[in-house]
Amino acid sequence: MLPAQAQLNIFACEPEYAALAKELAADDANIFSATTAKQDPHFVQARPSLISKMRRADVVICAGADLEIGWLPMLQMKSNNLDVQSTEKGLFLASDHVENLDIPVKVDRSMGDVHELGNPHVHLDPFRVADLATAFTAKLVQLDVKNSEVYQHNLNDFIKRWQTATAKWQQQAKPLKGLKVIAYHSSFKYMFEFLGMQQVGDLEPKPGLPPTSSHLLSVLDIVKQQQVKLVVYTGYQDEKAANWLQDKTDILSLQLPYTVGGNKHAKDLFSLMEQHISMLLLASQKQ
């Protein structure tokens, strides 16, 4: 247990979880994000600076479902920090606390870099984010009981604002229902589910493999056959494939923020979702 007055050190694997921690932790918590919106969380190096950050962490909050498998286990091993080794203590994996999409019936590598535990990009569905907020608050209370009232108060406040916003987003997003879209990777699956959109193609031939020209030709067929109007990707993904598709057809290529910091307006979880919806609405109206 933490000594009285101690600040909680929170290590977030991705910016969206740093933002969630910011909503829920006490004011004096130190929150650090290991990655930025410009970095693909699949391909992060177990850098010396991250080892020393993790050494001091009381809580580590990550997406889980093997998204960070190439670096998180190395940081845990090298940080010698007994508090963040298991989910029984200070480790919190978001995908453990919500129902995951895309859980394969069978996994083998011929399918690409598929996650056995399902799609780890869970932070783009507001309903799941509400569940994550509740679960993460329980973790904060477990680790820092004396501040439990603060955490409970923060959670209630967040949930109230989040539910109001969620209802508003559902209203705003009505025109997006049924909208067909091509995306890069399965990064936006949870948001498409929330918005009732349909991802009919992927720029990646298989998860984790970069777009190839033969695969893009098959995506081109999908675009033509299904009259797809929109292709989306994010800041850490190469824009070339989406732009190629835009040049070949009348599809619109759109870079979405994906996470907090992904563009200058996406400053927290609320403005991130607002950005996504308004950008998608604007793009769909252009067509």
Partner 1 sequence: MKLSKLTTAVVLGVAAAQVNAATDDINVSAIINVGYTDREDFQGIAGYGVDDHAAGLKNGFWTDHTEIAISAPIDDMFFGKVTMVLDEHDGETEVELEEAFIQTTAMPYDLSFRAGRFLSNVGYLNGKHTHTDSFADRPLVYRAFMNGHYYDDGARLSWLAPTDAYIELGTEVFKGATMPAYSDGEGIGAHSLFVKTGGDFNESNSWQVGASYIGFKNDEAHCSSHDHGEDEHEPHALDEEHEEDHGEAFGACDFSGDKDYYIVDATWKWAPNGNYKYQNFTLSAEYFLVEEKGELHHEEEHEEHINVFDEDHHDEIDVEHTGYYVSGVYQFTPNWAAGLRYSEIDFDEPYSDGFKPKVSTAMLEYRHSHFSTIRLQYSQDKSTEHFTDDQVTLQFNMALGAHGAHQF
Binding site for partner 1 (CB under 8 A): 35-36, 38-40, 42-49, 51-52, 55-56, 66, 69-74, 76-82, 85-86, 88, 109, 112-113, 208-210, 236, 238
Q: Among 125, 123, 191, 133, which residue's Cα sits nearest to residue 159?
A: 133
Q: How many other C-beta atoms are found inside a 10 Å radius of the C-beta of residue 11?
A: 29
Q: Is 40 helix (H, G, I), strand (E, B) or coil?
A: coil
Q: How far apart are the first and last CA of the chain?
A: 56
167 or 209: CB nearest partner 1: 209
45 or 164: CB nearest partner 1: 45
Please report how close the Cβ of residue 48 comes to partner 1 at its closest, in angstroms: 3
69 or 138: CB nearest partner 1: 69
Please report how close the Cβ of residue 70 comes to partner 1 at its closest, in angstroms: 5
The DSSP code sequence of 149-218 is: HHHHHHHHHHHHHHHHHHHHHHHHTGGGTT-EEEESTTTTHHHHHHHT-EEEEESSSSTTSPP-HHHHHH
Please report how close the Cβ of residue 269 comes to partner 1 at its closest, in angstroms: 22
Helix runs in 29-176, H state only: 48-55, 72-79, 126-143, 148-172
Please report how close the Cβ of residue 41 comes to partner 1 at its closest, in angstroms: 10
Please report how close the Cβ of residue 280 comes to partner 1 at its closest, in angstroms: 24
12 or 197: CB nearest partner 1: 12
86 or 287: CB nearest partner 1: 86
Please report how close the Cβ of residue 147 comes to partner 1 at its closest, in angstroms: 24
- Separation of alpha carbons 50 and 195, rounded Å: 35
* Distant-in-sequence, close-in-space partners of 207: CB < 8 Å, separation ≥ 6: 111, 112, 113, 114, 115, 185, 186
66 or 125: CB nearest partner 1: 66
* Distant-in-sequence, close-in-space partners of 269: CB < 8 Å, separation ≥ 6: 16, 19, 20, 23, 123, 129, 162, 260
Please report how close the Cβ of residue 134 comes to partner 1 at its closest, in angstroms: 25
Q: Which long-range contacts (CB under 8 A, 24 or more apart) does 146-149 make?
A: 146/2, 146/4, 147/26
196 or 210: CB nearest partner 1: 210
Please report how close the Cβ of residue 230 comes to partner 1 at its closest, in angstroms: 23
207 or 249: CB nearest partner 1: 207
- Separation of alpha carbons 189 and 245, rounded Å: 20
